[in-house]
Amino acid sequence: MRVRARTVVIAIILIAIAEFALVVWQVSRPRVVGRAVAPDGTEMCIIQKCVWWEGEFFTTGFVYRKPSQSQWGWFYYNHEDSYWGTARVVMNTNAGAAHFYRGETLAVTFDWVKESYTLHRWKRTLGGADAGKFPAGWSPEKQAP
């Protein structure tokens, strides 16, 4: 019985280590937290990247691309963020706006017609001319900021 009990304990420990490694892998890689596509084809995403080695947890941003553009525009969200699992998105096609929520809190509104980004925690609105640009070929699936 002792050998069998030891085998069970070892198996449980190995499973726990494997699950922990899977969680670390999932959390530490760049990912898309929330995504929406407007009726005109504008793509919008909340993206997050682990930056533990820089002394912070995560950097989070909002990116968008109009169908006629090759480059993605980027707006700041937070550079000292905590893990953001998923973002619920509510589209208001009449207003031409996408609302991204963090839990039950409205985090970001993006007006895809005006290319207007509102960061609700700071009550700040910026226009498309204020957006940073990623090089052609960059995509949210490949990497986050």
pLDDT tens-place string over residues 16-48 = 675 655 555 555 567 999 999 999 999 999 999
How far is Cα 49 from Cα 45, in angstroms, rounded to an integer? 13
| 116, 125 Cβ separation under 8 angstroms | yes
> Which residue shows structure tokens 């950097």?
59
DSSP 3-state of 24: helix
Taking phi over 0 as left and psi of -120 to 50 as alpha, with beta for the rest, 129 belongs to alpha
Where would I find the H helices in the chain?
2-28
pTM: 0.81
Average pLDDT in the 42-65 region? Answer: 89
Q: Which residue has the tokens 């963090």?
A: 102
